[in-house]
Amino acid sequence: MPHRFFMNDPDDFVTEAAEGLALTNPDLVVQRTPLFIKRREVPAGKVALVSGGGTGHEPLHAGFVGDGMLDAAVPGAVFASPTAIQVAEATKSADAGAGVLHIIKNYTGDVLNFNIAAELAADENVEVESVLVDDDVATDIEGSRVGRRGTGSTLIVEKICGAAARRGDSLSQVADLGRRVVAHSRSIALALDACTHPITGKKSFELDPDEVEFGVGIHGERGRGRIPFASADELVEKLLDSLVPAVGADSGDDVIAFVNGLGATQLTEQYVVTGGVHNSLQKRGINVARTLTGSYVTALDMSGVSITLTRVDQEFLELWDAPVTTSGLRW
Amino acid sequence: MPHRFFMNDPDDFVTEAAEGLALTNPDLVVQRTPLFIKRREVPAGKVALVSGGGTGHEPLHAGFVGDGMLDAAVPGAVFASPTAIQVAEATKSADAGAGVLHIIKNYTGDVLNFNIAAELAADENVEVESVLVDDDVATDIEGSRVGRRGTGSTLIVEKICGAAARRGDSLSQVADLGRRVVAHSRSIALALDACTHPITGKKSFELDPDEVEFGVGIHGERGRGRIPFASADELVEKLLDSLVPAVGADSGDDVIAFVNGLGATQLTEQYVVTGGVHNSLQKRGINVARTLTGSYVTALDMSGVSITLTRVDQEFLELWDAPVTTSGLRW
């Protein structure tokens, strides 16, 4: 049976989810029309961070609104970009006098709408810079006009830029830092089962029991190809064989390793994958400086994992370790 | 296609998952034989808290080991109790001179093995008390010999007792407090789809698209019965109609509301349910003092939610709000 959803009127799904989130976290406020989620107070003079994108990737982005990470998040419909008006209103509302950084996953609709929003905000004297996250190795195709998709690294960018904004960096400094994090980060994913669209009830693809979808995206897009189902360690090895050269990690380098569940994959499974990632990176001479494991950048109920590696220096690590207080990420 | 698992040798699944968890959290150590997960340091003179049970409910219990909650967790095989030897070794290892509290979910195997473990530990002069969690309203059947199952309230007991132990309460004080939390807590769950056993690959039951399993447990047990699939708000109403009288919540009472995803149910859906719970409790005159939403007490890949209510006084709330630093719960 395809995944069935806890839902009332499908038209209210995204708004009701935002309001439910705010009920769990009194530091958040939901503006309904146009819809966005914001911190109750953005500290005056702090660069504000705004991100967003289609619903279906929770806790990304609204779960990362809070002290040390995002100041506002703008959810679109399921797997659809928010509108430019939504993003513009969130941007103006989040601005605390030091400008706003847009963190944008590289999808045509998101890029278009965030760019229009930046112009609308500029018309009202809000300074906006943007960081485009394009980390998905599976879409690194020579001659591609659209470039790589933005996936798991978005969390790393939001965390590190959030810490920089919190310590008082200027808009251009936070933006430069974000672009450096993007340049040092890559991700790749595989799925053991597709996701189910909550409105249509349709699975995005069908797999045979002896195959897995390799290089899958976070919107149920088909992957780069299919490979045989195998042990966790063998699947991890295949993922890292693509990922490690793509991120440019050499023996002796330090990385943040982020093992991410895509939705229906359980924590136990994610931890088994984490062990495989550590073992394989150790064999490659790469030092895992920090590890994050959990379902943070999901694709509805997809069964699968993504792995993100970020090559880090001391500054990246200090910003990564800095306190964060959000519903989805806290330390 | 049934859920497929990221796994190596099935015999190593639970141990590899424990080791993966410890890789993400340097404050944890894994002892392999017999298997348990422990804090690197239990503060001297603090009452130690030990819990455990079958694998498949993560982050419960191992994800709740850390400052302000558990000191050790003992995972069994999937949906199977840990052995008495595992629990006894964890108990002796966690003891920091002030005795050990066992927090036990009410299942025959768990009760048996924790009780034997308590005797084994007592033989080595470790004082042990226990709190039995039996909160599942669906199993509240007159004349039942086994009593109610232990489910979502376990998290509440572990959090509140963890905070009490941290502030220096004695073993008997922490145990009494835990029993009071149990007495003030009830849970109920429903499933939109069954879970898949990772070893057999079998679903625990089959549902038609127009029905849901009401009063389901966290081991794929069948529920109390089947009711028609309906909107989130209507399903919430049915759950609360059972839960509110069972927990004895009256108009004017304060509660902690814990909306828990059982595995494959997404955060957005859980937040929609959270909104429904708030609205319905408000209509009933019950004040939701705190809300927790997330997949904390899971049943493998089950699609469904449980709702736990705990009637609270000021002391419960202060202990609930106290700092906690674990992989699974942090504030």
Q: What is the ipTM of this complex?
A: 0.95
User: Cα distance from A247 to chain B (closest Cα, Å)?
Assistant: 21
A16 closest CB neighbour out of B207, B275, B303 = B275
Evaluate if residue B90 carries a pLDDT over 90: yes
What lies within 8 Å, CB to CB, of B6 at 6+ separation is A192, A232, A235, A265, A269, A270, A272, A273, A305
Q: Which residues of B touch A56 (CB under 8 A)?
A: 266, 268
How many CA atoms lie less than 13 Å away from A40 in the CB half-sphere?
A: 7
Evaluate if residue A2 carries a pLDDT over 80: no
Determine contact, residues B105/B53, Cβ cutoff 8 Å: yes
Q: C-alpha B313: how far from its chain's center?
A: 21
- Output the pLDDT for position A142: 79
Determine contact, residues B195/B220, Cβ cutoff 8 Å: yes
- Output the pLDDT for position B204: 86
Bridge-partner residues for A177, per DSSP?
none
Q: Which residues of B touch A306 (CB under 8 A)?
A: none
3-state DSSP helix/strand/coil % of chain A, to nearest 5 = 35, 25, 40
Evaluate if residue A1 carries a pLDDT over 80: no
Tell me whether residue B278 is one of the annotated catalytic residues.
no
Q: Which residues of A touch B56 (CB under 8 A)?
A: 266, 268
Q: Across the interface, do A271 and B21 touch by the CB < 8 Å criterion?
A: yes
B264 closest CB neighbour out of A63, A264, A291 = A264
Positive/negative CA dihedral, B261, B267, B273, B277: positive
Amino acid making up residue A225: G
B268 closest CB neighbour out of A58, A235, A295 = A58
Compute the average pLDDT of residues B220-235.
92
Among residues B25, B70, B268, the alpha carbon closest in space to that of A331 is found at B25
- Which one from B102, B184, B219, B278 is the annotated catalytic residue? B219
- Which one from B3, B57, B61, B278 is the annotated catalytic residue? B57
What tens digit of pLDDT does each residue of A222-247 get? 888 999 999 999 999 999 999 999 99
Compute the average pLDDT of residues B77-83.
96
B17 closest CB neighbour out of A19, A272, A300 = A272
Compute the average pLDDT of residues A263-292.
97
Degrees, nearest 5: CA angle B31-B36-B41: 70
3-state DSSP helix/strand/coil % of chain B, to nearest 5 = 35, 25, 40
DSSP 8-state code for residue A65: B
What tens digit of pLDDT does each residue of B255-272 get? 999 999 999 999 999 999
Compute the average pLDDT of residues B189-199.
91
Q: Which residues of A touch B292 (CB under 8 A)?
A: 24
Tell me whether residue A102 is one of the annotated catalytic residues.
no
Compute the average pLDDT of residues A273-293.
98
E strand or H helix at A173, and its extent? helix A171-183
- Which one from A3, A57, A184, A278 is the annotated catalytic residue? A57
Q: Across the interface, do A272 and B8 touch by the CB < 8 Å criterion?
A: yes
Average pLDDT, chain B: 96
pTM of the full structure: 0.96
Coil vs helix vs strand at B290 = strand
What tens digit of pLDDT does each residue of A256-276 get? 999 999 999 999 999 999 999
The pLDDT-based confidence of B3 (bands split at 50, 70, 90) is confident
Q: What are phi and psi of B313, to 5 degrees?
A: -115, -175
Could you say which residues from 165 to 204 on chain A have a Cβ atom under 8 Å away from some Cβ of chain B?
192-193
Q: Across the interface, do A271 and B1 touch by the CB < 8 Å criterion?
A: no
Candidates B267, B298, B326: best to mutate against A (most CBs of A within 10 A) is B267
Q: Got the DSSP string for B175-244?
A: HHHHHHHHHTEEEEEEEEE--B-TTT--BS----TTEEEET--SSS---SEEEE---HHHHHHHHHHHHH
The domains of chain B, with CATH numbers, are 11-183 (3.40.50.10440), 185-311 (3.30.1180.20)
In terms of CA atoms, which chain A residue is nearest residue B205? A1
User: Cα distance from A255 to chain B (closest Cα, Å)?
Assistant: 13
The pLDDT-based confidence of B215 (bands split at 50, 70, 90) is very high
Compute the average pLDDT of residues A64-89.
97
Bridge-partner residues for B309, per DSSP?
B186, B257
Q: Which residues of A touch B18 (CB under 8 A)?
A: 271
What tens digit of pLDDT does each residue of A181-220 get? 999 999 999 999 999 888 888 888 889 989 999 999 998 8
State whether residue B252 sits within 8 Å of chain A by CB: no
Q: C-alpha B103: how far from its chain's center?
A: 10
State whether residue A56 sits within 8 Å of chain B by CB: yes
What tens digit of pLDDT does each residue of B50-76 get? 999 999 999 999 999 999 999 999 999
The pLDDT-based confidence of B254 (bands split at 50, 70, 90) is very high
What lies within 8 Å, CB to CB, of A273 at 6+ separation is A232, A235, A236, A259, A293, A305, A307, B6, B20
Q: C-alpha B164: how far from its chain's center?
A: 18
- Output the pLDDT for position A174: 98
Compute the average pLDDT of residues B168-173.
98
Candidates A267, A274, A302: best to mutate against B (most CBs of B within 10 A) is A267
CA distance B262 to A238: 30
- Which one from A61, A184, A197, A219 is the annotated catalytic residue? A219
